[in-house]
C-alpha cells in the first residue's frame, strides 16, 4: 500500500510531467489561456492516462515487442474517443473552446511516455496509481499556469475579477505569454530541486 | 632586477578601455537625443527616462543581491538599457509603464540569461516589445511636438500606413524632430551627434549602421511606392526609429556578430526586415522587431562568418 501511495504522489511534484519531465508541453501551451479550459483538459487527460495505463499494463504480456507502439496507440485512441464523445455530449461549450486539442491527447507525450516507461513494466495496481498521479500532476500544472496567465492576461480567474483597476497584460493571453510563464516556472522548479539536493 | 622579465601568457598589450568606460561613453552619447526629446516633448520625457533608468538599475541591484553575484550597477549597462527603453516610449505614457518595461528588460531580457555579456537579445528592445504587445493603447498614443498639452498626434510612419499623404512635414522638420514619435527617436540631428562620438571613439564600427540604413533606403526606394524605383527613401531614413536603432541598438556588443563580414550580414538583414515590415507589415514601424529577429540569428551568422585562421584553409 505504501508503494502505491508513492507511485501516486511522485507524479505531483517529484516527477511532475510538465515541470520536471517536460512532457506534454504542446497542450499545456495551447489550452492554458483560462482556468476553465485547464481543468477540462486536465480531467480528460487524466481519464485517458488512467484507462490506457490500466489496459496496457493488463495486456503487456500479450503485446509483441516489435509492434508495441501501434498497440499502445490503438488503446490510447480508444480512451481519447470516449473522452471526446463524452465531452461533446455533456459539455459542448468546453468541447468548442478546447477544439482540436481533445483528439490530440492521442499524441500527448505524457500518455505514451507513461505507457512506454511504466505501464508496460509494472502490474495493474501500480500502473493505475502511476497514471492517476501523473494525471493529477498534469492537471495541477495546467491550473497553475492558466491561473497565472488568466489573471495577468485578463485580470480575472474563472471569470471573476480579482483586482479592480488592474490593466491586463495582453501578452500573457498570447502564445508568447504561455512560453514565458512555462519557462519561468520550469526555472523555478529546477531551482527548488537544486536547493533540495 | 628580477622584476624586469615578466613571463606571462597573452595578451601583452593592455588598453585603458573597460566595460564601464565604454558604457558610460554610450550614456554620454545618448544625452543629446535626450535633451532634444525634452525640448520637443516637454518635461514628461525627462520623467519617463528617469523612472526607466532608476527601475532598471534597481532591478539589476536586486538580481545581483539575490544571485549573490558581483553587483554590476556601476558599469552603466543597466543605465543604458533604461535610457534606450525610455527613448522607445511615447512621452505621454503613465509612469508605471516605463517601470514595468525596465523591470522586464533587465529581469527577462538580461538577468535570466546570466547578466551582462550573456543576453541573446537587446534587453531594451525586449522590454519595448513586451510593452507593445501588452499595452498597445499607451504605446501608440503620441504627444504633439512643441505643444505640451495632451493633444495626440500620429507618427509620420503611422500616417503613411493609413494611406494619407504627408506633404506638410518637410525633410528639415523630420531631421530636427518636429513631429510625433517616441522620446529619443525623433531628433535625427542629436542622434547623429551621439553616433559621431561613438564612431570617433571607435566603440562602434560603421558596418552595422551603414549597411542597415543603406539596405532599408534601397529596398524602400525600389518597393516603397506603387511604381518600382520611386519610393521616398529619404523620408524613411529620417522618420521612425531607424537612426536610433541602427546606431545605438543594432550595435549592442553582446547580441550582434563579431566579425566585420558578419556585421554586414546582420545590418543587411535588419534593413530588409525593417523595410518589409514598414511597407507590407501590420505595424507602421519595424525597427525593434527587425533587430530582435536578427539578434536571434546572430549565433548562426557568427558560425558562417568566422575569420580564417592565418595559415589554414
| Residue ranges covered by each domain of chain B | 19-299
What residues of A are in contact with residue B130 (Cβ under 8 Å)? 171
Question: Which triple of cell numbers denotes residue A83?
Answer: 473522452
Average pLDDT over residues B9-31: 85
User: What is the C-alpha separation between A184 and B199, in angstroms, rounded?
Assistant: 39
What residues of B are in contact with residue A171 (Cβ under 8 Å)? 130, 133-134
- Percent of chain A beyond pLDDT 70? 99
User: What letter would DSSP give residue B297?
Assistant: H
Which of A152-156, B63-67, B156-160, B222-226 is most confident? Answer: B63-67
pLDDT, greater one: B105 or A26: B105
State the nearest Cα–Cα gap between B133 and chain A, in angstroms: 5
pLDDT in tens, A112-164: 988 888 888 888 889 999 999 999 999 999 999 999 999 998 888 887 877 77
- Chain A interface test: which of B99, B111, B113, B134 (most A C-beta within 10 Å): B134
pLDDT at A27: 86
pLDDT in tens, B138-173: 888 888 777 655 556 678 888 777 766 666 678 888
Structurally, how many domains does chain A consist of?
1
Q: Do B111 and B126 meet the contact criterion of CB atoms below 8 Å apart? A: no
For chain A, strand residue ranges (E) read: 156-157, 160-161
Element (H, E) at A189: helix A175-196
pLDDT in tens, B161-212: 776 666 667 888 888 888 888 999 989 999 999 999 999 998 999 999 999 9
Q: Which of A171, A184, A187 comes nearest B130 by C-beta?
A: A171
> What is the extent of the structural domain holding A28?
2-196
B133 touches chain A (CB under 8 A): yes
- Say whether B112 and A187 touch across the interface (CB within 8 A): yes
- Say whether B134 and A170 touch across the interface (CB within 8 A): yes
Averaged pLDDT of chain B = 88
CB contact residues (below 8 A), chain B span 93-112, against chain A: 108, 112
Q: What is the ipTM of this complex?
A: 0.82
**Chain B residue with minimum CA distance to A152:** B134
Average pLDDT over residues B59-63: 93
Q: Do A80 and A103 meet the contact criterion of CB atoms below 8 Å apart? A: yes
> Which of A127-141, B3-17, B27-41 is predicted least confidently?
B3-17
CB atoms inside a 10 Å sphere around CB A113? 16
CATH for the stretch B19-299: 1.10.3430
Average pLDDT over residues B251-277: 93
SS3 readout for A12-42: CCCCCCCCCCCCCHHHHHHHCCCHHHHHHHH
User: What is the C-alpha separation between A83 and B261, in angstroms, rounded?
Assistant: 57
User: Which among B246, B236, B237 is positioned nearest to B266, based on CA atoms?
Assistant: B246
A176: three-class secondary structure by DSSP: helix
pLDDT at B147: 64
Amino acid at each position: 500500500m505504501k508503494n502505491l501511495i508513492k507511485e501516486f504522489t511522485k507524479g505531483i511534484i517529484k516527477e511532475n510531467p510538465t515541470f520536471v519531465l517536460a512532457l506534454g508541453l504542446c497542450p499545456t501551451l495551447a489550452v492554458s489561456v483560462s482556468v476553465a479550459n485547464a481543468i477540462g483538459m486536465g480531467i480528460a487527460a487524466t481519464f485517458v492516462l488512467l484507462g490506457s495505463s490500466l489496459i496496457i499494463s493488463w495486456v503487456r504480456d500479450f503485446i509483441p515487442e516489435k509492434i508495441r507502439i501501434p498497440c499502445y496507440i490503438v488503446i490510447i485512441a480508444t480512451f481519447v474517443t470516449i473522452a471526446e464523445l463524452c465531452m461533446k455530449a455533456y459539455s459542448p461549450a468546453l468541447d468548442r473552446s478546447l477544439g482540436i486539442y481533445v483528439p490530440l491527447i492521442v499524441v500527448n507525450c505524457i500518455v505514451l511516455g507513461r505507457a512506454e516507461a511504466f505501464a508496460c513494466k509494472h502490474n495493474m495496481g501500480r500502473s493505475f496509481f502511476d497514471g492517476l498521479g501523473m494525471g493529477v500532476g498534469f492537471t495541477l500544472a495546467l491550473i497553475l499556469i492558466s491561473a497565472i496567465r488568466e489573471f495577468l492576461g485578463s485580470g480575472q480567474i474563472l471569470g471573476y475579477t480579482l483586482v479592480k483597476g488592474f490593466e491586463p497584460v495582453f501578452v500573457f493571453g498570447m502564445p508568447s505569454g504561455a512560453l514565458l510563464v512555462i519557462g519561468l516556472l520550469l526555472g523555478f522548479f529546477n531551482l527548488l530541486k537544486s536547493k533540495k539536493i | 632586477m628580477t622584476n624586469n622579465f615578466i613571463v606571462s601568457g597573452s595578451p601583452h598589450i593592455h588598453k585603458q578601455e573597460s566595460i564601464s568606460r565604454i558604457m558610460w561613453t554610450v550614456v554620454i552619447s545618448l544625452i543629446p537625443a535626450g535633451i532634444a526629446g525634452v525640448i520637443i516633448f516637454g518635461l514628461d520625457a525627462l520623467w519617463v527616462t528617469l523612472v526607466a533608468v532608476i527601475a532598471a538599475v534597481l532591478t539589476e541591484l536586486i538580481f545581483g543581491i539575490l544571485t549573490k553575484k558581483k553587483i554590476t550597477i556601476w558599469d552603466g549597462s543597466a543605465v543604458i538599457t533604461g535610457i534606450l527603453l525610455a527613448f522607445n516610449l511615447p512621452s505621454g505614457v503613465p509612469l508605471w509603464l516605463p517601470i514595468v518595461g525596465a523591470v522586464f528588460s533587465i529581469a527577462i531580457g538580461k538577468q535570466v540569461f546570466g547578466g551582462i555579456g550573456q543576453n541573446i537579445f537587446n534587453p531594451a528592445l525586449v522590454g519595448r516589445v513586451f510593452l507593445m504587445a501588452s499595452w498597445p493603447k499607451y504605446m501608440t498614443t503620441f504627444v504633439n511636438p512643441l505643444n505640451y498639452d495632451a493633444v495626440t498626434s500620429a507618427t509620420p510612419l503611422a500616417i503613411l500606413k493609413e494611406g494619407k499623404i504627408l506633404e506638410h512635414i518637410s525633410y528639415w522638420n523630420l531631421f530636427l524632430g518636429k513631429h510625433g514619435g517616441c522620446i529619443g527617436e525623433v531628433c535625427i540631428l542629436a542622434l547623429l551627434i551621439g553616433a559621431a562620438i561613438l564612431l570617433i571613439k571607435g566603440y562602434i564600427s560603421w558596418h552595422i549602421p551603414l549597411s542597415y540604413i543603406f539596405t532599408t533606403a534601397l529596398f524602400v526606394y525600389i518597393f516603397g511606392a506603387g511604381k518600382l524605383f520611386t519610393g521616398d527613401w529619404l523620408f524613411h531614413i529620417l522618420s521612425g526609429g531607424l537612426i536610433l536603432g541602427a546606431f545605438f541598438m543594432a550595435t549592442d556588443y553582446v547580441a550582434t556578430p563579431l566579425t566585420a563580414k558578419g556585421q554586414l550580414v546582420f545590418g543587411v538583414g535588419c534593413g530588409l526586415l525593417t523595410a518589409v515590415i514598414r511597407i507590407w507589415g501590420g505595424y507602421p514601424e519595424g525597427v525593434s522587431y527587425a533587430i530582435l529577429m536578427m539578434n536571434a540569428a546572430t549565433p548562426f551568422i557568427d558560425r558562417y562568418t568566422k575569420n580564417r585562421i592565418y595559415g589554414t584553409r
